[in-house]
Amino acid sequence: MAYRKLRPWIVSAAAFAFFVAALWYSAPPTDGPPGSRAPVISPNEGPPPAVSPARSNSEGPTEPIAGNQPVAEVPQVNVPENQPEPPESPPQAVERSIESLKELVKLAIASKDTAAILESFVELQSRGPEGVEAAASLLDLLLAPTDSEVDFPRSAPPAGWPTLESWLHLFTPPLVEYVVEQVKPLRAIVEIFCQIHLMDWWDYEERVRLSGELLLKPAGDGESRDWVLYCAVLALQHLPGSKAADYATKFLELPPVGDTERARYGAVWVVARRGSDADWVLLEHLNMKDPAERVRGTAKYHLLARGCNETGVLVVDLTNQGTAAAAGVKTGDVITSANGKAVEYMEDLPFGAGGPLRLRISRQGAEMEFDLEAGNHGISGYHVPPAFHK
């Protein structure tokens, strides 16, 4: 009777013990302290690693081990990689000051070291407005050792310079811009603008602009002003194109101030080379109204040469008592040969002896010959501008 009363409790205790044992055997294997259950190793597997590798951020979820048992995730430890130290940058050269560069240029000029002059003088101009101003202040010193008497434009470099090109590389656009704005020193203007057409490493438009601005900007007075204007016109003559003619036209439309005859004479050539209808109207006005006889004469000459395409001497004027007028020669004729020899300039005509001449002449495309008697032939002329040749 007592056994029947205790049987439910005995069964419950046995069931509870069985349940606890089942839970213990179903727990995952661990490497816990002594007394914990040892991990089960499959016959095809080796021993587990001592430390599981950390999973990177780019990896996917942790793969389960054999038996589809979940594995506790190992905390990540970010270990910085051993990066090589960056190589040391080479030491930077200390930038030379403007004053030190000026001194280097002076020393190079004194020692006639053209390579050092070129290097330091160009570097000085690259230092902004202050460097350009400093370079301009050295122009008188730089130009002093060069040829004192030279016909411009130069055909050879100054003494000591290997080539004319190396000499011209001294002058950079910022320096020339400064010279144009300041219009000093005058010797530098002569040096630069008489050769600016050779500086083809510059932009063409820039050279034309600088020359044109110098032409339109009053500079100096008297003979010095005439020299500056002449240099600017000479540059435009060597830089053909519509832009050059535009500047020459603006200059010729200004009222003549001082002695500008030589510059205006050259500007006529620049305008006539373009030869637009407006250009011929301007030349007709100069032929009639310009106060300088030389300017009127070259305007008339180009008007007569309009339409000429031969190489020869253009007859600009004839004296009434001359043998040429008596033989039938007219202004506007082009003398292509004299006594069987081709001519291009007045110097080619054998006028000195005053003997008889046989002239071959082109008149509006027609060829004809005239025999001149001995005596004063009375011909004035110029060679046909090469720009007119076809």
Q: Quote the pLDDT of residue 43.
A: 45
Nearest to 379 by CA among 323, 305, 340, 338: 323
- Report how far residue 326's alpha carbon sits from residue 333's, in angstroms, rounded to the nearest whole number: 14
Say yes or no to pLDDT of 331 above 70: yes
- Report how far residue 58's alpha carbon sits from residue 81's, in angstroms, rounded to the nearest whole number: 16
Q: 148-152, 157-161, 186-190 — which is least confidently predicted?
A: 148-152
Q: Which residue has the higher pLDDT, 246 or 188?
A: 246
Say yes or no to pLDDT of 127 above 50: yes
Nearest to 247 by CA among 197, 289, 210, 193: 210
pLDDT tens for 314-328 read 888 888 888 888 899
State what percent of residues in the chain have pLDDT above 90: 33
Q: Write down the pTM of the prediction.
A: 0.65
Say yes or no to pLDDT of 367 above 80: yes
- Report how far residue 118's alpha carbon sits from residue 123's, in angstroms, rounded to the nearest whole number: 8
**Whole-Å CA distances, 341 to 22, 149, 292, 380:** 134, 37, 35, 19
- Boundaries of every domain in the chain: 98-309, 310-390
Q: How confident is the model at residue 225 (pLDDT cuts 50, 70, 90)?
A: confident
Structural tokens at position 210: 């600088």
pLDDT tens for 279-312 read 999 999 999 999 999 999 999 888 988 877 788 8
pLDDT tens for 340-350 read 899 888 888 87
Q: Quote the pLDDT of residue 39.
A: 47
- Per mean pLDDT, which of 57-71, 207-221, 334-348 is the most reliable? 334-348
Contact between 135 and 125 (Cβ < 8 Å)? yes
Instruction: Please tell me the class of the 98-309 domain.
Output: mainly alpha
| CATH architecture under which domain 310-390 falls | Roll (2.30)
Structural tokens at position 186: 């005058």
Q: Which long-range contacts (CB under 8 A, 24 or more apart) does 338-344 make?
A: 342/311, 342/312, 343/312, 343/313, 344/311, 344/312, 344/313, 344/383
Average pLDDT, the chain: 79
Q: How confident is the model at residue 90 (pLDDT cuts 50, 70, 90)?
A: low
Q: Quote the pLDDT of residue 118.
A: 93
Label residue 258 left, alpha or beta by phi (over 0 means left) and psi (-120 to 50 means alpha): left
